[in-house]
Amino acid sequence: MIVLDVLKTASLYSNLSDLLEPVFNEDETIPSEALAEFAILLGAFNRAVKKIASNHFDCLSASVVTINSDGEFDLSSLSLKCQRVLSLFSGSKKLKFKVKGNTLFTSFSGIATITFAYIPDDYLSSSTFDLFPQLDIGTLSMAVASEYAFTKAIYDDAQMWQERFLDSVKNIKSRTLCNGYIEERIWK
């Protein structure tokens, strides 16, 4: 999905579609008020994505790293903002580790594969967004609308959209496979 599509839906939820229509249509003359509201909405999108990555769905990455002879690795040297380390492997051997601050400590030194959850960087409105494939545009737009309303101090709307988003996430997480295993009938 494209970030701009999420912003369009969030603008509908936030009653901004008329104001932001020149931005979405890429008109030659865009009022400064529309540009300011669009910037706030894009900021709300980025904050919502970070909150979703922190609280609901992990963004996972794996990286091959070199652990120094002291058994230490600086997590800030990773290309992504590491939120927490999930596992550390050397080949197929799982390694024990501890994390203190931005440093990973282990008794191993050499090349290892680290799997970690990360916080995504900010997106542009033209970016393609595919971090949470389980979320549809409507659900993601609810989180954006909540963040936007909170930014504008419209707390009732922020709470309403947050509750709707959380209900939607709860439904997504509780889905089970319905057409997996079917028991054999007792009667024949």
Looking at the fold, whether 52 and 12 belong to one and the same domain comes out as yes
Cβ count near 162 (within 10 Å): 19
Tens of pLDDT along 59-74?
899 999 999 999 999 9
The reported pLDDT for the residue numbered 187 is 58
The reported pLDDT for the residue numbered 176 is 46
| Nearest-10 Cα torsion for 8, 14, 158, 167 | -60
Looking at the fold, whether 52 and 141 belong to one and the same domain comes out as yes
163 found inside a domain = yes
82 found inside a domain = yes
Which amino acid belongs to residue 87?
Answer: S
Number of domains in the chain: 2
Tens of pLDDT along 112-144?
999 999 999 999 998 998 888 888 999 999 999
165 found inside a domain = yes
Tens of pLDDT along 104-117?
999 999 999 999 99
Looking at the fold, whether 113 and 74 belong to one and the same domain comes out as yes
Looking at the fold, whether 139 and 104 belong to one and the same domain comes out as no
144 found inside a domain = yes
Residue 88, helix vs strand vs coil: strand
Looking at the fold, whether 74 and 98 belong to one and the same domain comes out as yes
* Residue in 169, 49, 64 with CA at minimum distance from that of residue 119: 49
Tens of pLDDT along 3-61?
999 999 999 999 998 999 999 988 888 899 999 999 999 999 999 999 999 888 888 99
Looking at the fold, whether 44 and 132 belong to one and the same domain comes out as yes
What is the domain extent for residue 52? 3-56+125-173
The reported pLDDT for the residue numbered 186 is 59
Angstrom distances, CA of residue 133 to CA of 57, 128, 172: 10, 12, 11
User: Packing angle between helix 17-24 and helix 32-55, nearest 10 degrees?
Assistant: 100
Last residue of a domain, one of 102, 119, 136: 119
The reported pLDDT for the residue numbered 131 is 85
169 found inside a domain = yes
Residues near 33 by beta carbon (within 8 Å), at least 6 away in sequence: 19
The reported pLDDT for the residue numbered 184 is 57
179 found inside a domain = no
101 found inside a domain = yes
pTM of the model: 0.80
Looking at the fold, whether 90 and 107 belong to one and the same domain comes out as yes
178 found inside a domain = no
Tens of pLDDT along 77-111?
998 999 899 999 998 999 999 999 999 999 999 99
Q: Are 138 and 169 in contact, with CB atoms under 8 Å apart? A: no
Looking at the fold, whether 40 and 83 belong to one and the same domain comes out as no
